[in-house]
C-alpha cells in the first residue's frame, strides 16, 4: 500500500498515522508512507511515485477537496485501486476511487451547533441578549473545514440571537488557533463563544484567551471537534465546554477494505465512522481509557 498522509498538523493526525502504520504492520501489509506537510503538490508527487512503483493499492487523505482528477485518472489507467480515507475529493467521477472511509463532517458541525442551541441560555456570557460566536476554521478548501462550517452555521441559523461575527482559518494547528484568537480578541467586541474546527486550534486559542486575562470555558464558551487526549483533558478541567468526537483510528477498517479491494471483492462506496460527543462529566469518565 502506498499511503499519502496530509501531514502532522494535529494530535488527531498523529493518532491517525499511528493507527495506519501499526495496523499495516500487524496485518503484514507492506506500507510506503509519505507526509505531505499539508501541501497538495507533495501529495500528488507521492501518489505519482506510488503509481511508478506499481503498488497494489493507494490510499490517501486529501489535503483539500479539489484538483485530484488528473492524478486519479493516472492511477486508474495503471489499474491501481484508490481508497480515500478521512477526507473526500469533490470529483464528479466516482469511478476514480473504490471507496471513501471516514467521518460525516457535516454531522459533526451540526452536533456542535446543536449544543449551542441547547445551551443558548447560559452562552450569552456578556448578557447583552446576543450570542456572538467566533469561528476558527480548519485548512481552507479541506472537506472537514467546508462541511463542519456548513453543519454548524445551518444549525445555529434557527436561533436569531446566535451570530458568527468573525471566521478565519487556523489551518488545524495549535499555533494557527492561537494567532487567530489573538487577532479576534483585539478586533472583536463581546465574544461569547468560540467554535474551533479541531481540538488543537481550540487549545491554541485557550493560550491566547488566558494571555488576555480571561478564563476559557467561562468568559468565552468553547466548542471543538476531535476529542483527543489533550482536548478531553481541557474539557474535563472546564476550559472547553463541549467536544464532538472525530475518530482517527481508521487503520483496521482501512486495511480490511484494502485487502478486499486488492482481492477484487466489492466494497461499499462510503463507509462512515461511528462517533459520539462529550460534555465535561462524560470527558472525565472517558479519559482514563482514551486511546489517543
Ligand atoms: O480530517 C480530519 C481533521 O484533520 C481533524 O479534525 C483535524 O484535527 C485534522 O487535522
Cα–ligand 1 centroid distance for 158 (angstroms):
27
From 39, 172, 230, mutation site for ligand 1 pocket: most ligand atoms within 8 A of C-beta: 172
CATH value of 105-245 in 1.20.1640.10, 3.40.50.2300, 3.40.190.290, 3.40.50.300: 3.40.50.2300
Residues 6+ apart with CB under 8 A from 207: 178
Q: Whose CA is closest to atom 3 on ligand 1?
A: 144
Question: pLDDT in tens for each of the 292 residues of the chain?
Answer: 999 999 999 999 999 999 999 999 999 999 999 999 999 999 999 999 999 999 999 999 999 999 999 999 999 999 999 999 999 999 999 999 999 999 999 999 999 999 999 999 999 999 999 999 999 999 999 999 999 999 999 999 999 999 999 999 999 999 999 999 999 999 999 999 999 999 999 999 999 999 999 999 999 999 999 999 999 999 999 999 999 999 999 999 999 999 999 999 999 999 999 999 999 999 999 999 999 9
Alpha carbon distance 160, 130 (integer Å): 9
Alpha carbon distance 232, 151 (integer Å): 22
- Count Cβ neighbours within 10 Å for each residue of 50-82 and write b for 16 or more, e otherwise: bbeeebebbbbbbbbbebbeebbeebbeeebbb
- Cβ–ligand 1 distance for 108 under 6 Å, the answer no
Classify domain 2-103+248-274 at the CATH topology level.
Answer: Rossmann fold (3.40.50)
- Give the residue range(s) of CATH 3.40.50.2300 domains in the chain: 2-103+248-274, 105-245
- Cβ–ligand 1 distance for 198 under 6 Å, the answer yes
Amino acid at each position: 500500500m502506498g499511503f499519502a498522509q496530509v501531514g502532522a498538523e494535529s494530535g488527531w493526525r498523529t493518532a491517525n498515522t499511528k493507527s495506519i502504520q501499526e495496523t499495516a504492520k500487524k496485518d503484514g501489509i507492506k506500507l510506503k508512507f509519505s507526509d505531505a506537510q499539508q501541501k497538495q503538490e507533495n501529495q500528488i508527487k507521492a501518489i505519482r511515485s506510488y503509481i511508478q512503483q506499481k503498488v497494489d493499492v493507494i490510499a490517501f487523505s486529501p489535503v483539500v477537496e479539489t484538483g485530484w482528477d488528473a492524478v486519479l485518472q493516472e492511477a486508474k489507467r495503471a489499474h491501481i485501486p484508490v481508497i480515500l480515507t478521512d477526507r473526500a475529493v469533490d470529483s464528479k467521477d466516482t469511478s476514480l476511487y473504490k471507496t471513501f472511509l471516514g467521518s460525516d463532517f457535516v454531522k459533526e458541525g451540526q452536533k456542535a451547533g446543536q449544543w449551542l442551541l441547547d445551551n443558548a441560555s447560559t452562552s450569552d456570557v456578556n448578557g447583552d441578549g446576543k450570542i456572538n460566536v467566533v469561528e476558527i476554521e480548519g485548512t481552507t478548501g479541506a472537506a472537514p473545514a467546508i462541511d463542519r462550517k456548513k453543519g454548524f452555521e445551518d444549525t445555529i441559523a434557527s436561533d436569531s440571537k446566535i451570530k458568527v461575527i468573525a471566521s478565519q482559518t487556523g489551518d488545524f494547528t495549535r499555533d494557527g488557533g492561537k494567532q487567530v484568537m489573538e487577532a479576534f480578541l483585539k478586533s472583536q467586541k463581546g465574544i461569547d463563544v468560540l467554535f474551533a474546527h479541531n481540538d488543537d486550534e481550540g487549545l491554541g486559542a485557550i493560550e491566547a484567551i488566558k494571555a488576555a486575562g480571561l478564563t476559557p470555558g467561562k468568559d468565552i464558551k468553547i466548542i471543538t471537534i476531535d476529542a483527543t487526549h489533550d482536548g478531553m483533558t481541557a474539557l474535563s478541567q472546564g476550559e472547553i465546554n463541549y467536544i464532538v468526537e472525530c475518530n482517527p483510528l481508521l487503520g483496521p477498517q482501512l486495511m480490511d477494505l484494502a485487502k478486499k479491494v486488492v482481492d477484487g471483492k466489492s466494497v461499499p462506496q462510503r463507509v462512515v465512522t461511528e462517533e459520539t460527543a462529550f460534555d465535561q462529566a462524560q470527558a472525565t469518565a472517558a479519559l482514563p481509557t482514551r486511546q489517543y
